[in-house]
Amino acid sequence: MSSPFWSPALAQLEPYVPGEQPRAQRLIKLNTNENPYPPSPQALAALSDPALHRALRRYPDPESSELCSVIAAQHNVATNQVFVGNGSDEVLAHTFYSFFRRDQPLLFPDITYSFYPVYCQLYDIDFRTPALGADFSISVQDYAGEAAGVILPNPNAPTGRQLPLEDIEQLLRLQPERVVAVDEAYIDFGGDSAVCLVDRHPNLLVIRTLSKSHALAGLRLGYAVGQAHLIEGLQRTKNSFNSYPVDGVAQRVGAAAIADHRWLEENCAKVIATRDSVTEALTALDFEVVPSKANFVLARPGTMEAGQLYTELRRRGILVRHFNRARINQYLRISIGTDTEMAQLLEACREIIATHQNSTVR
Ligand code: PMP
């Protein structure tokens, strides 16, 4: 649809399309990298705190001060080094607006989070996309030269590959005049966080979310950690857009979730163990699996088209993600669910592949 009332810029936008959120409850949902387990009991307890109920009548703290101090304590940084937003997507949007609208192109990998080009279009930012290697690895040298900045997820999505911290430091040195934003949506599943580099690098911004490892995708809470001058930049943008992006519920529940370190550790350990055993099982089924440090794997079936396998899995009520994009259209991205869900996925793959082989042999 289109409308004559739309501005020319709006008419040209190609919005991001999120993974499907189906209404059918029975589906095994492995398509949007949500956590398969319920959030921390402490986070759930915060939801039913009468003090929260009383506070809902009023506007929330526009600066989310308490939440920022809990996040700061968690990462051993000062409170003015933390910025929070309505999901990390919003923190990313403000990052693009605040730091990347320049005369040079923004740099990010050719295969990465597909929201990045959408923000570029929204904010009229030119971009260049250095190609990942054949094994989906990133070569940091590709990010040298004139640029508006660099953004990349670590681990990368949808590949799951992690970039070592030495490489992140090299990127920071290659672009000393520009912001390097590291999107750590999946870092808790076994990667090394760049937060420890923030005090040494004025151009580093690390962006996190509670949607994945904290099992709070429905709460919509993300944050950035960086030196105070970057955080103040993000606040200027936020206060020119929406003064209260993080509601009172998210501020309290998020703080309780972050304070529950033990829950986070145990939850991530379970997801990592499942991921590693699924990787082995898929490899045994002839899939090529990209080594992942995230809560998903990118896997290429050895004997049938990825698109066909996606359709057959869906017919059996198992939803994974298939990207119809060059280089990855023969892969499926499979989020890590519970052990039971993954056993069902593996069993379905086994059956579908065997049926397919029988029908091609005949
Ligand atoms: N970054 C990456 C790499 C992601 O995959 C996602 C999830 N789609 C996000 C950021 C956004 O997460 P959220 O807005 O739920 O915090």
Ligand 1: which atom is nearest the Cα of residue 221? 16
204-209 and 180-183 beta bridge pairing: parallel
| Any atom of ligand 1 within 6 Å of the Cβ of 158 | no
Distances (CA, A) of 168 to 128, 149, 216, 250: 19, 13, 28, 31
State if residue 88 touches ligand 1 by the CB under 6 angstroms criterion: yes
Specify burial of residue 10 (Cβ count, 10 A radius: 0-12, 13-18, 19+). Answer: exposed
Q: Cα of 34 to ligand 1 centre, how many Å? A: 10
Domain coordinates in residue numbering, the chain: 8-38+262-361, 41-260
Euclidean distance between the first and the last CA atom of the chain, given in angstroms as a whole number: 46
Give the CB-side neighbour count of residue 61, counting CA atoms within 13 A: 13
Nearest CA to ligand 1 atom 6: 185
Q: Is 259 helix (H, G, I), strand (E, B) or coil?
A: helix
Centroid of ligand 1 to alpha carbon of 241 (angstroms): 20
Give 33 Cα–ligand 1 centroid separation in angstroms: 9
In CATH, the architecture of 8-38+262-361 is Alpha-Beta Complex (3.90)
Residue 21 is predicted with a pLDDT of: 83
Question: Which atom of ligand 1 is least distant from the CA of 210?
Answer: 16
The closest of 18, 20, 40 to 30, measured between CA atoms, is 20
Helix 306-315 and helix 339-361, axial crossing angle in degrees, nearest 10: 120
Contact in structure between 293 and 160 (CB atoms under 8 Å): yes
Q: Is the CB of 211 under 6 A from ligand 1?
A: yes
pLDDT of residue 361: 67
Distance CA 43, CA 84 (A): 17
Phi-psi category of residue 20: left, alpha or beta, with phi > 0 → left and psi -120 to 50 → alpha: beta
Q: What number does the ligand 1 atom closest to the CA of 153 have?
A: 3
Ligand 1 centroid to Cα of residue 4, in Å, is 33
The CATH fold of domain 41-260 = Aspartate Aminotransferase; domain 2 (3.40.640)
**Cα(263)–Cα(258) distance, rounded to whole angstroms?**
9
Gap from CA of 146 to ligand 1 centroid (Å) = 27
Q: Which ligand 1 atom is at minimum distance from the Cα of 32? A: 8
Q: How far is the CA of 35 from the centre of ligand 1 (A)?
A: 13
Q: What's the gap in Å between 19 CA and the centre of ligand 1?
A: 11
Q: What is the whole-number distance in angstroms between the Cα of residue 209 and the centre of ligand 1?
A: 7
95 lines ligand 1 (CB under 6 A): no
Distance CA 51, CA 309 (A): 50
Instruction: List per-block mean pLDDT (blocks of 10 residues) for the chain, which spans 362 residues.
Output: 92 90 84 97 96 95 98 98 98 98 98 97 98 97 98 98 98 98 98 97 98 98 98 98 97 98 98 98 98 98 96 96 94 98 98 90 64
Tokens representing 235?
């606040």
| 112 touches ligand 1 (CB under 6 Å) | no
